[in-house]
Structure 1
Amino acid sequence: PLEGDREPHEKEVGSLPHVADVQETNDSSVVSKASAAAQGYFRDPFIQHFVCKVSRRAPLINRGYFVRWRAVDHCVRHFLLITAKCPKRQILSLGAGFDSLYFRLCADGALDGTAVFEVDFPDVARRKAALVTSNATLRGMLDPCLPPIPQPGPVYMCSSQYRLLGVDVRKESQTEEALSAAGLDWAAPTLILSEVVLTYMETQRSDAVISWAAKRLPQSLFVMYEQIRPDDPFGRVMQDHFLKLNSTLQALQQYPDLLAQRQRFLDKAIFMEFWSRALQHFYNSATGGWMNERVICLVELAKHHGWDQCVCVDMNAFYLGLLPQEERDRIETLEPFDEHEEWHQKCSHYFILTASRGALMEQALLSQASVPSVSPSWGSTELKVSTVPVCLEGLGLASTWMRSEGLLLTGGSSRRGRVTQSRSLIRDQNGWRSTSVEASADLGMRLYHTVTPLPRGGGAVVYGGRSSPLRPISDLFKLTFDPSAAKAPRPDAEKVQVEPMECTGNPPPPRFRHTATVVQHRGRDFLFVFGGKNQSACALSDSSFLSLDQQHWTEFPVGGDVPAARHSHSACSYLGSVVVFGGLSGEGEPLGDLSFLTPTERGFDWIRVAVHPPPVPRYSHCAHVFGDKLIVVGGVWMQSDGVPGIVIISLSTYSSMEFRLDTSSVPWPLMLHSFCSELTDSEEPALLLIGGGGNCFSFGTHLNPQPVSVCLQPIYDYLQPPGL
């Protein structure tokens, strides 16, 4: 991840300690845009001219800049379509930086009757003008300059369809004078573009810009792209990143979510409507003369100073609800990608907003995305989370019990790189401690694999995983644990016997992010492998069965309501069957369905059940069976605010209840995805959560530095079977 990579306009409008900060910010973001364009995410042959060298960014960065570019481009193209019959129209870009919008639209022949006005600080505008002037390709897309424009307008470039201004938009009168001098028509249909600009101003000043635009441009569409949701774990990492860069996200405190951002624009209209009615009442009660004329003017002014309509969606809703499936499929083919959690969290923390003034501009508003929201059915109890004082981090690792007081941890990735050495967590009278593991053979480097405990204390089976998104792993190992270790006084290392499993039959394709669960058929134990993904499939739906006594891949007829292809789901053994919940579909949407794989005389059947109220769809979670309850913890969702805590699903009544986690005693942002968990069987039932976290877009890598424990005692009665 590129920890210093920032949005292009972070401090181009707002408090500026150093001009060098602007240059660093602008240069870094332009490199990211150029990287995404070079990898084929979008077509922009001009952005390369604004960088010294096109460098390749990580796939997550490329996707993040693609969805931003695509959302803005969608709004701009729709505006141009709606205003196609207007003789004159305008685009006003605030804090434009080194954006190539004008050059792209010009090359596409999309600027018929359209002028593009770009506003930025004088230093940024001066640098951009110098770059354009010195580049033959860019310079050739400008017609000869118009006659010189008199001051005070600081116009650095002037063409019939392109004006580049160096001015501070916080200074309303200077901005108006400069735009008027540059030829802006205040009555013409205008798109105002603000990409991560206003949030870096003091909120009072950014609100003033929004009101100013509505006041001065009566036929306009405001398009804004910014951050939201500052208080969840990802949002805290995002905020901390910008604080370290002395670039506080000002607007997040007052406008933390979609509703607040939408109301931010509509409140301007409500406020002005209030004053319009108040002034109208004053006029009706006043006597004639010049006072009535003054009030009439104020009434008319108030009626036309607010935004009429506003539509605001986060980038998950935009990507899944407004982009065609074919385009999303194309994006999936561009680069190997396996950072789904971080991608969806990035998209849930940014939004695209359109607000309209005037009847024509209402047609240019964003369509409401078709991704439905789901409201969790929250229980009244919050479950306390406490830290476990052991330094242990990682993502994509797997765990299993070696014995009642000892856990084995395998694989994963940490800040120091991929983990090849297994580790253990041992609990004694003093609490948890970490020890090393002496394995008879190397399990290799793997992430997102499974370690499945075998019945009757028979050890465990390691299956699948990946070393990279292009290198899934197909081998199997049987693990046997030293039974005498429990009696040894604080051993320095746990001994684990590792044996490769030589299996016969037709093995399934290699995979990762799958599940492997023990299921029974006619008294025999089988390892049931379901779902996952690999280098050639976004999600898998096949079912495979490994006979554990014969080590033979066995084919069974599987019928019933087969679940959709998925990965990052959960699967738990339950009364000889398997219960599967959630996951991420091949279309990139979280799932919230519950299915049972049950044995029949000849094979297995899938049975899907409806849960009421339905749990919020999620993936990258963990699940455990406790009696007749399925305990689901953590994960990633996108159809509800906040982050998942714990949902309890009754496997007998098919009801559910969500419970929030109280993380107030955890001194870091607790990210519960790409982690593993184990249900402890102590006197006080609890969940031990180990690892988790990931690359938080361009804000840096965050991994939970210690395990945490979730106390289930407050809902112990709820976990009991009915009638007990």
Structure 2
Amino acid sequence: GAITFSGDDYKLLGVDLSELSELERTLEEVGLNNEIPTLFIAEVVLTYMETTRSDALIQWAAEHFPRACFLLYEQVQPEDPFGCVMQQHFRQLSTALRSLALYPDCQAQQRRFLGKGWTECSVMDMNEFFTCCVPEDEQQRVQTLEPFDEYEEWHLKCSHYFVLAASKGMEPSWTPLSPIPCHAGPVGVAGSVPAAVCAGLSAIPGLRRYGHRSVLVKPNVIVTTGGFGEEDGQHCRVRNVHLLSRRAGHWGAVCVTPNVPDQRWGERLYHTVSRVSDTLALVVGGRTSPSSTGLGMLWLKFPETWGASGPGDVAVELVNLQPAAEAAALRWRHSTTEITFKGEQYLFVYGGRSALQPVLGDWHFLHTPELSCTAIAVEGPVPEGRHSHSACSWEGGVLIAGGLGAAEQPLGSVFLLRELEHGFQWQTIETHPPLVPRYSHTAHVHEGKLLLVGGVWFHASSVPGITVIDLMTGLCLNYVINVEHLEWPLMLHNHSSVFLPDEKELLVIGGGGNCFSFGTHLNPEPVLLNLSSILTSH
């Protein structure tokens, strides 16, 4: 019969949940008393059923059990980039997620249960659940179980799963998800930005990667290093340096011949690359595995005449720096920004994380080009430690925005490290409306406006697009990215972006990541975002 296992106080039944008459008969045969409080648990079960049948099951449970509770755990947010990858995964397994069409978000699921006979219902996504319902000491225990550096994937996965608790007839009332957090309201949108595949780069290998860095080292030349992606037909930490060169308005790849005594030097994620001159760029930090101690510094040296005589091969020399400024270098997910102090050029290394410290809040001034650590006085309220933030040069100082803090919560603060006569001062930039907390974004400054590109935030109803902050007034406007001309999901985290001021365009290179158990998504092609309308109208 339907009983597949039977013990003194436990019975395991094999019944088709969509056949309610058979389910009811089987439960009666095994002696279930529906008058006593009953708990239903459905962990990614109902979503595989036809929605009319799963709706009927929810309503049947409410009608046949006077005192009952229902716990539901399954997926939401099917239409954003992560949701598209998630849906494609289940379609390939021939196990489509059927509930998502009618119930795409937490609010729709709550209305579903309240409309099917349940008198109380609370729901939250797993980011809210972990933050609000898991005790702080348990959060800390989980966070230290093993080396971990996949924050974006973790938070995106949690924003696409929810837990729901419904009840009826319970005295006292059953509210296990209390205190229920206030759901973050929808993010205000001021307009949209069109996205298009960058012509000429669609067939170029080597740019499908994430956790890399791309930088404009001279007019019309972009260098991309490191990251995780496709190389020689397999997924790995990418060793090769990649060059893009623009001629007659069109971008194309340049063949690079590296002179690398130890090839592992170029194999790193979450480092920074800073242009020092037309022939010199500095790589700071990065990691191989999350348990590594960090990778120090590296010069990228380019020939004096490179790029002047056509798209020929370019020899790139990688020169290891030992043991210069180790404390500054042994970190990842940090920022390195050019600043000026008393007419001298420095690189300002800030924040990040290391194998021993999950969040760093320190900073170092490296005098260029010899990279000596210099003590410069800094006053003002010190920003909360963070990693995966953005940093931009502005008026001789540095703008720091967002990031992930010590509690693994996105931050919404913006700070300016401003030059004074005797040193620097931290200064908070107030934004209105307040900046939605985010991390893993990129940033650029153009004519007094701070542009934040993509990232990860906890507003499950949308994904970050472009945010423009007027640094004079603090006005903060959000723009969605119009991806109707792209044939694949555009994941704007762990990407790089290069701002082209003359065209008012952003070239987005790479991005994506491991989408939980649904597979790895790498943005297949560089994308151009046209900002002319929002930078003119802002």
Query: Which residue matches 2:12?
Result: 164
| Aligned counterpart in structure 2 of residue 447 of structure 1, from 269, 274, 292 | 269
Question: How far, CA to CA, are the matches of 1:159 and 1:502 in structure 2?
Answer: 67
| Aligned counterpart in structure 1 of residue 461 of structure 2, from 630, 633, 641 | 641
Question: How far, CA to CA, are the matches of 1:418 and 1:550 in structure 2?
Answer: 29
Query: SS of the counterpart of 1:329?
Result: helix
Question: How far, CA to CA, are the matches of 2:471 and 2:404 in structure 1?
Answer: 22
Query: Which residue matches 1:293?
Result: none
Shifted more, 468-477 versus 646-655: the winner is 468-477
- Cα contact 1:156–1:164 (8 A) shared by 2: yes
Give the AA of the match of 1:400.
V
Displacement after TM superposition at 1:547 (Å): 1.1
Query: Which residue matches 1:353?
Result: 164
Query: Which residue matches 1:380?
Result: 191
Shifted more, 360-369 versus 157-166: the winner is 360-369
Question: How far, CA to CA, are the matches of 2:337 and 2:385 in structure 1?
Answer: 17
Displacement after TM superposition at 1:610 (Å): 1.4
Alignment pair present for 1:229 and 2:77: yes
Within 5 Å, which residues of 2 pair with 1:487-526?
A: 487-491=308-312, 493-501=313-321, 507-508=327-328, 510-526=330-346
Query: SS of the counterpart of 1:635?
Result: coil
Name the structure with the higher strand share.
Answer: 2
Residues 239, 158 of structure 1: alpha-carbon distance in 2 compared, 3 angstrom cutoff: same
Give the AA of the match of 1:245.
L
Residues 602, 537 of structure 1: alpha-carbon distance in 2 compared, 3 angstrom cutoff: same
Query: SS of the counterpart of 2:411?
Result: strand
Give the AA of the match of 1:220.
A
Within 5 Å, which residues of 2 pair with 1:460-539?
A: 460-491=281-312, 493-501=313-321, 507-508=327-328, 510-539=330-359
User: For the aligned residues, what is the CA RMSD?
Assistant: 1.9
Give the AA of the match of 2:214.
S
Displacement after TM superposition at 1:444 (Å): 2.7
- Cα contact 1:225–1:352 (8 A) shared by 2: yes
Query: Which residue matches 1:263?
Result: 111
Query: Which residue matches 1:313?
Result: 124
Displacement after TM superposition at 1:505 (Å): 6.3
Displacement after TM superposition at 1:160 (Å): 3.0
| Aligned counterpart in structure 2 of residue 203 of structure 1, from 43, 51, 54 | 51
Query: Which residue matches 2:251?
Result: 432
Give the AA of the match of 2:208.
E
Alignment pair present for 1:243 and 2:64: no
Residues 489, 508 of structure 1: alpha-carbon distance in 2 compared, 3 angstrom cutoff: closer
Displacement after TM superposition at 1:451 (Å): 0.2
Question: How far, CA to CA, are the matches of 1:316 and 1:716 in structure 2?
Answer: 34
Question: How far, CA to CA, are the matches of 2:279 and 2:41 in structure 1?
Answer: 63
The structure with higher relative contact order (CA 8 Å, sep 6+) is 2
Q: Which one has the largest radius of gyration?
A: 1
Residues 610, 638 of structure 1: alpha-carbon distance in 2 compared, 3 angstrom cutoff: same
Query: SS of the counterpart of 2:197?
Result: strand
Query: SS of the counterpart of 1:485?
Result: coil
Query: Which residue matches 2:418?
Result: 598
Residues 553, 717 of structure 1: alpha-carbon distance in 2 compared, 3 angstrom cutoff: same
Residues 549, 406 of structure 1: alpha-carbon distance in 2 compared, 3 angstrom cutoff: closer
Alignment pair present for 1:716 and 2:520: no
Shifted more, 239-248 versus 469-478: the winner is 469-478
Alignment pair present for 1:333 and 2:135: no
Give the AA of the match of 2:250.
G
Query: Which residue matches 2:492?
Result: 672
Within 5 Å, which residues of 2 pair with 1:124-139?
A: none
- Cα contact 1:507–1:553 (8 A) shared by 2: no
- Cα contact 1:374–1:616 (8 A) shared by 2: no
Give the AA of the match of 1:353.
L
- Cα contact 2:294–2:354 (8 A) shared by 1: no
Q: How many residues align?
A: 527
| Aligned counterpart in structure 2 of residue 403 of structure 1, from 206, 218, 240 | 218
- Cα contact 1:396–1:411 (8 A) shared by 2: yes
Query: Which residue matches 1:41?
Result: none
Residues 506, 224 of structure 1: alpha-carbon distance in 2 compared, 3 angstrom cutoff: closer
- Cα contact 1:531–1:567 (8 A) shared by 2: yes
Query: SS of the counterpart of 1:360?
Result: coil
Give the AA of the match of 1:450.
T
| Aligned counterpart in structure 2 of residue 393 of structure 1, from 208, 211, 214 | 208
Question: How far, CA to CA, are the matches of 1:583 and 1:387 in structure 2?
Answer: 28
- Cα contact 1:318–1:369 (8 A) shared by 2: no
Give the AA of the match of 1:354.
A
Q: TM-score, normalised by structure 1?
A: 0.70
Residues 470, 371 of structure 1: alpha-carbon distance in 2 compared, 3 angstrom cutoff: farther
Displacement after TM superposition at 1:602 (Å): 3.3
Displacement after TM superposition at 1:184 (Å): 1.0
Question: How far, CA to CA, are the matches of 2:175 and 2:451 in structure 1?
Answer: 46
Residues 405-456 of structure 1: CA deviation (Å, up to 9, x unaligned): 11111111114211111011112236222223233445431111000123x6
| Aligned counterpart in structure 1 of residue 509 of structure 2, from 684, 690, 706 | 690
Query: SS of the counterpart of 1:241?
Result: helix
Residues 5-60 of structure 1: CA deviation (Å, up to 9, x unaligned): xxxxxxxxxxxxxxxxxxxxxxxxxxxxxxxxxxxxxxxxxxxxxxxxxxxxxxxx
Residues 639, 361 of structure 1: alpha-carbon distance in 2 compared, 3 angstrom cutoff: farther
Give the AA of the match of 1:623.
A
- Cα contact 2:193–2:480 (8 A) shared by 1: yes
Residues 509, 486 of structure 1: alpha-carbon distance in 2 compared, 3 angstrom cutoff: closer
Residues 257-315 of structure 1: CA deviation (Å, up to 9, x unaligned): 011111111122xxxxxxxxxxxxxxxxxxxxxxxxxxxxxxxxxxxxx1101101000
Query: Which residue matches 1:94?
Result: none
User: What fraction of aligned residue pairs are identical, expressed as a percent?
Assistant: 41
Residues 372, 212 of structure 1: alpha-carbon distance in 2 compared, 3 angstrom cutoff: closer
Q: TM-score, normalised by structure 2?
A: 0.94
Residues 660-691 of structure 1: CA deviation (Å, up to 9, x unaligned): 10011111111111111100134x21000001
Question: How far, CA to CA, are the matches of 1:624 and 1:703 in structure 2?
Answer: 23
- Cα contact 1:202–1:250 (8 A) shared by 2: yes
Name the structure with the higher helix share.
Answer: 1
- Cα contact 2:122–2:175 (8 A) shared by 1: no
Displacement after TM superposition at 1:383 (Å): 3.0
Give the AA of the match of 1:429.
A
Query: SS of the counterpart of 1:237?
Result: helix
Residues 399, 499 of structure 1: alpha-carbon distance in 2 compared, 3 angstrom cutoff: same
